[in-house]
Amino acid sequence: MEIEVSSRNMKFLECFSSHTRVKMIELLNVQPMNIKSLSEALDIKSPIVTRHIHMLEEAGIVRCESVAGKRGMQKICHLQLTHAMLLFKGAPAADETKRYFVSLPVGHYSSYQIKPTCGLASDTQMIGMCDDPRYFADPEHVGARVLWFGSGFVEYRIPNYMVNNEVPESLEISLEICSETPCSVNHLPSDIAFMLNGVGIGTWTYPGDFGSMRGLYTPEWWHKNIQHGLIKTIRVNRQGSFIDGIQVSDITIDRLMLAYDKEILFRISCSAAAKNCGGVTLFGKGFGNYNQDIEVTLRCE
């Protein structure tokens, strides 16, 4: 995750202004804890712990779930964020008139070529059956909130709202993704490649075995073995292509040939010939740990 040091992100930045909140992060890094355990470890009252946890939860650093305990329901807190990069110099300017944002549901792909194991589901039910690629052509696929495939690709057409005289400066895509596929037991790493306008910008290897704990937003009816993924941020600018702030290639935004009158093609793939082919699962709103679809931000000069 990349965080710009600006007034727009004060909720996140203020989380680290308190010794108590930082200590909570340290404790949760060791193991999940309930409010009572945190209260005892920090020697502060439970209502104060709850307020601090709420602040960390709003910032996306901590996630909480209610589970049955010996004396009723208890709130279990988990450290959700694994890392964050603060952007000081070079952060995009605050001129929002040159910022275009699009949120694409995971089911709104325009092209695909996949092999089982595979499937789709809306927020209320499965769309078709597991391991039958024909359902990726079903008209109901646009309502999918989660989809998965063993190998192949899905491709999205991103609307481009630049005007004629604007020059693209950076393109950022954020999505929740993992490798394991819900209809099989598959705790394997996976080499997941990303392509923009036909140009391969980089590959990220999902480490595997991250999705066994129930997803924060995953609906109750979903009982598959995969519950959530990791949030990944892909950025292409004039310096190159980056995934979570780490440069993965020298492909710059100029190489993408973005034009105001053309859509942007975004492909996510896992090749059957890759060293690690553990499949791809994409989570949208109503699934996983991040209540978002595929979020795209295009900034111009």
Per-residue pLDDT of the chain (301 residues; tens, 9 = 90+): 678 888 778 889 999 999 999 999 999 999 999 999 999 999 999 999 999 998 998 888 998 887 776 777 788 899 888 788 888 875 555 455 588 999 999 999 999 999 999 999 999 999 999 999 999 999 999 999 999 999 999 999 999 999 888 899 999 999 999 886 666 555 678 999 999 999 999 999 987 765 567 788 889 898 887 888 888 999 999 999 999 888 999 999 999 999 888 999 999 999 999 999 989 999 999 998 888 999 999 999 8
Q: Report pLDDT for 210.
A: 55
Q: Which class for 7: exposed (0-12), middle (13-18), buried (19 or more C-beta within 10 A)? A: exposed
pLDDT of residue 224: 80
> Are 136 and 105 a contacting pair, CB within 8 Å?
no
Structure confidence by residue, pLDDT tens digits, 136-155: 999 999 999 999 999 999 99
Q: How far, in Å, are 28, 33, 56, 284 from residue 22 at the CA level?
A: 10, 15, 10, 30
pLDDT for the residue numbered 2: 73
Q: In sequence order, which residues have a C-beta less than 8 Å from that of residue 213 and are 6 or more positions away?
A: 78, 227, 228
Q: Is the pTM of this model over 0.75?
A: no
Q: What angle do CA 104, 219, 136 make, to 5 degrees?
A: 45
Question: What confidence score (pLDDT) does residue 296 get?
Answer: 95
3-state secondary structure at position 155 = strand
Question: Is the preceding peptide bond at 117 cis, omega within 30 degrees of 0?
Answer: yes
Q: Which helix (H) or strand (E) holds 20?
A: helix 19-30
Residue 211 has a pLDDT of 54
Tell me the C-alpha distance between 299 and 101, whole Å: 9
Kindly state the tokens that stand for 170: 């950076």
Quick: pLDDT tens for 230-248.
889 999 999 999 998 889 9
